[in-house]
Amino acid sequence: MVLCERTMPLWISGFQKIELLHGKPGKAQSKYILTIEDRGKLVEVKHDLVEIRKFELIRLRMEHPDVITYSDIVFESMGNKTKIECHVQVEGKGFAVKMAIGIVKGILQIRQEKDYRAFKRVIEQSKG
């Protein structure tokens, strides 16, 4: 579900398409190219699905044009609700991005929180 072309438009801001490059869809060690629209431009993001445990954990490595992010998305079932926590590490690729990493992290965090709240709704609806 996390890297499913059918559900991604429901929770990823600016989603355009996803392409499987390596591995089996939705399985650990699979690799993808995700295309999103960001501020009117198409951006390709390399996604590595490092680890996945259904309804528990998704571990991703994402390579954006300017940054690399490492995300752990942790799910905790609470009856008919799901608690979601996201832990993200960000590395800047260039000198200018490294100097502005605090601003970059803030922008990414706002976007990811919005997307993961939407993902949480998709998961809860699929369980119900």
Q: Which domains does the chain have, with CATH numbers?
A: 8-127 (3.30.530.20)
pLDDT given at position 122: 81
What are the backbone angles phi and psi of residue 49, rounded to the nearest 5°? -85, 95
Nearest to 71 by CA among 55, 56, 51, 53: 51
Residue with tokens 């355009």: 16
Name the stretches of the chain with pLDDT < 50: none
pLDDT at residue 62, as a whole number? 92
Q: What DSSP element (H or E) covers 15? A: strand 15-22
Question: Do 122 and 11 contact (CB within 8 A), yes or no?
Answer: yes
What is the CB neighbour count within 10 angstroms for residue 11? 19
